Amino acid sequence: MQAIILGQGNPYLKNPYLSKLSKVLDSASVPYEFWIWSRDKQAQALPKVKVLLSFGSWGGGAVNALGYAVWVAWLTLRVFAQPRAGVYFCSRLDAALPCAIVASVRRCQYVFLDRDKLSKSYAWPTSVKRAIEAIERFVGRRAALHVVPGDSRATDNDSDNIRVVRNTPHTEVIERARQLAAAMPARQDKLRVLISGLISPERGARMMREAVQATGGRIEFVGAGRLLGEDAQRLAEGMGANYRGIVSNEDALALLLSADLVLAFYDPALEINRLAEPNKWFDCAALQIPFFTNPGLLTSAPFEQHQACFMCDYGDGEQLARQLLRIAEDRSLLEHRRAGLRQLRYEAWDTAMARVIAECTRLAA
């Protein structure tokens, strides 16, 4: 089997999911290459990466909307023109739709890595949402396998091609992260709080910025990840050298291991957030690092039931600051949450994805 991975951005740095996938393919001795849409201004040559489109920037706007249309059209032509290219692994709907279109005309094997439901990611008008849901069903049902991060995303319950691969860490990445964390310089005695991943308005950037300001230097905040919006930019500026920019998956987990606590908020007004299956929650579960999240998320129930996380109302920066200062004064509260995390057991990502790869290999034979 030859694998072709379709997605956006640097797959090794900007996309931990695809970085983990490449490691599983390497372990299975499956040859692969990435076909990507690059929106980075200084795109660098990367191993096994073919840039099909270089256009636009990260964020929204008319230019990027046009970019999506061009990306889908161009990808459809490229896939159609290469009937024996291999099995396509499609990261999100924009990469999978071209394969579904081609599959409706001739044989085209693809795996739909359905990491985010577009229909649930924005407050669409009802008619637009229904149209997107119809497209998602069209794409999901034509896929050889439809991979989702949790049962909450398995909306087509009558389809036998759905496979659940939770957003847990890769075993090898954890081992490398532990080595990196051990080599880090000695830390301060202050409570260390990590803010990482996509830092945006919909993921609590304002409340986290307010909490950083309200704690007045009594807590050490460390940040890493992509910044969207003014609050995220100001949050990073406030952390100074403690904001590390965009880092690799290994470095992100090393930062998590060196932290006492992680912030992981999701605006419950968005349906996709109410069905969140975040990497950070499962990273924390695997590494037993307590985290904060907010009420109103349907998928946080196992963590809440085991008292494995702290809760703070979404958007309330003052409440968050008070709770952080209380934890800084009483570190036993952290141990209570660690005990809750130890009760949770989730399969390693590479173990689950290896089964998907093996199944694809049999289908492609």
pLDDT in tens for each of the 365 residues of the chain? 899 999 988 887 777 889 889 999 999 999 999 999 888 765 567 889 999 988 766 666 667 778 889 999 999 999 999 877 789 999 999 999 999 999 999 999 999 999 888 888 878 889 999 999 999 999 999 999 999 988 776 666 557 899 999 989 999 989 999 999 998 887 778 999 999 999 999 999 999 999 999 999 999 999 999 999 999 999 999 999 999 998 988 999 999 999 999 999 999 999 889 988 888 999 999 999 999 999 999 999 999 999 999 999 999 999 999 999 999 999 999 999 999 999 988 889 999 999 999 998 887 76
Domains and CATH numbers, the chain: 3-166+348-364 (3.40.50.2000), 171-342 (3.40.50.2000)
Q: Strand, helix or coil at 112?
A: strand
Coil/strand/helix, residue 353: helix
Q: How far is CA 213 from the centre of its chain?
A: 27
Q: Extract the runs of DSSP E, i.e. beta strands, from 189-325.
A: 192-196, 220-224, 261-263, 291-293, 310-311
pTM of the model: 0.84
pLDDT of residue 363: 79
β-strand partners of 57: none
Residues 80, 74: contact at Cβ < 8 Å? Answer: no
Farthest CA pair distance, the chain = 64
Cβ atoms of residues 242 and 74 within 8 Å: no
